[in-house]
Amino acid sequence: MYLTDEEKRMLAGEKGFVPRLCMEYLVEMSGVAGAERLVELDGTADFHVPFTAMVPHYEFPIEELRKIAADGAHFALPTFANKGPCYGGTFVDGWEASGYAPHDEPDYHERAMQREWMELYIRMGLITTYSCAIYLAASYWPTPGQHCAWNESSAVPYCNAVLGGRSNIDGSFASAFLGKAPYYGMHITENRYATVVIDTERKIQTDIEWDVLGFAVGEECRLAVPALIHTGKPTTTQYQKFNTAANTGGSIAMYHVPGSTPEAPTLEFALGGKKPKREVMIDDAWLKRTYEKLNYHKGDSVEMVSLGCPHLNLVDLEKIARKLEGRKSKVPFWIMTVPTLYHQAEQLGYRKIFEDAGATFLSGTCPGAIGGIPDGVHALAVDAAKQAYYISGLFPDEDNTLDVFYGTQDDCIDAALAGRWHGEWR
């Protein structure tokens, strides 16, 4: 592959151990990806804290981080944390009341917290958003055309499709520190055009329609770039939902909604002036089948409800607060958001409303990321295709199965208040 003279010097170790290791990582990744050079990043980056690399081979010890931080090292571009600061994916806020042992114990939380790593990262410029939905708290976004390195599957389409930034799912310490990434995939204009046109029988308008459509489109398109036609204009929540579901049913880094997403003023533009390879009609029966695939239960008894995949924005938190005000949940009920929004929601009085309704307000993780739910819960209701589809993977054995109910936010709230599931595809 082509490397600049400076990149070659870094690879030779002339700039020290950490730059060399980061360069080795990017060069190796380029080799696997078939990338012929690196691209200079000018947008934003995020990575999975507390780790220094996704690939264990490129992890490095804290002594090395201490050294470079003491020498004044700084991330090369605005860099955000897309996971919490603890090992084990534990909660950032509200853990004391989570009811999820051992994550509700102060000692456990203290041991899991990687305080010194975080202090060093922060000195190097890391913004501690601690969320899969960094874009909800970033206060600073890539602008159209900027090259980025994001690393959260549910967020990457937000970068590419919604903001017009350019990113693969490859944010890492190395990319953020050196400001470089392998040049392939979504960095290349040609790869960003749609090749599949998706039409739907019904006009996609509600949150759950966007969520179910996302899963169906992911399954149908796999790695391809779709253009969605004849839909309503998605809201922020609906973009969040579609992105997350599409990267569970498939692996969609980029898509177009002509008339809404910035690289698709028209369908022709989204297609780059070419004919699509395929045109697919997703009819109502297809959506219903997808909804039913996301439901995985025998009876109708609900033992827990979890909302907040991806992490809830303030508008959704407000809606949930209004629906729960003065009511009482019969079952454990997790409501999950971004840590910074948690504190805003607290100031707005939502935390008190949630707690008075018997719910637990939490931030910085989710059942899937923390790897489970409180002991004794065998029936969980969620409003996210991603959570619904992953969570049962943690309960594969016949003597320890989990019933999963999937439906609208209203269906889930109703289930919390009634302890029973009344949701269905409408």
Residues that bind other proteins (CB under 8 A): 28-29, 31-34, 48, 54-57, 151-154, 168-170, 185, 218, 222-223, 247-251, 253, 293, 296, 368, 371, 389-394, 396
- Least Å from the CB of residue 35 to other proteins: 10
C-alpha to C-alpha distances, 196 to 204, 223, 225, 228, 417, nearest whole angstrom: 18, 11, 6, 9, 42
- Least Å from the CB of residue 183 to other proteins: 13
Which of 295/344 has CB closer to other proteins? 295
- Least Å from the CB of residue 46 to other proteins: 12
- Measured distance CA(240)–CA(244) in Å, rounded: 6
Closest C-alpha among 263, 259, 261 to residue 271: 263
- Least Å from the CB of residue 214 to other proteins: 12
Which of 258/407 has CB closer to other proteins? 407
- Least Å from the CB of residue 147 to other proteins: 15
Which of 389/425 has CB closer to other proteins? 389
Which of 12/394 has CB closer to other proteins? 394
- Measured distance CA(82)–CA(105) in Å, rounded: 23
- Least Å from the CB of residue 111 to other proteins: 22
Which of 155/320 has CB closer to other proteins? 155
The label of the residue with tokens 């410029």 reads: 125
Angle between helices 207-221 and 284-294 (to 10 degrees): 90
- Least Å from the CB of residue 332 to other proteins: 20
- Least Å from the CB of residue 193 to other proteins: 16
Which of 124/388 has CB closer to other proteins? 388
- Least Å from the CB of residue 132 to other proteins: 9
- For 39-55, b/e burial (b = at least 16 CB within 10 A) is bebbbbbbbbbbbbbbe
- Least Å from the CB of residue 393 to other proteins: 4
Which of 278/328 has CB closer to other proteins? 278
- Least Å from the CB of residue 20 to other proteins: 17
Angle made by CA atoms 397, 292, 314, in degrees to the nearest 5: 95
| Widest distance between CA atoms in the chain | 66
Which of 204/366 has CB closer to other proteins? 366
Which of 224/341 has CB closer to other proteins? 224
Which of 54/320 has CB closer to other proteins? 54
153: which residues sit within 8 A by CB, 6+ positions away? Answer: 169, 244, 247, 251
Which of 182/234 has CB closer to other proteins? 182
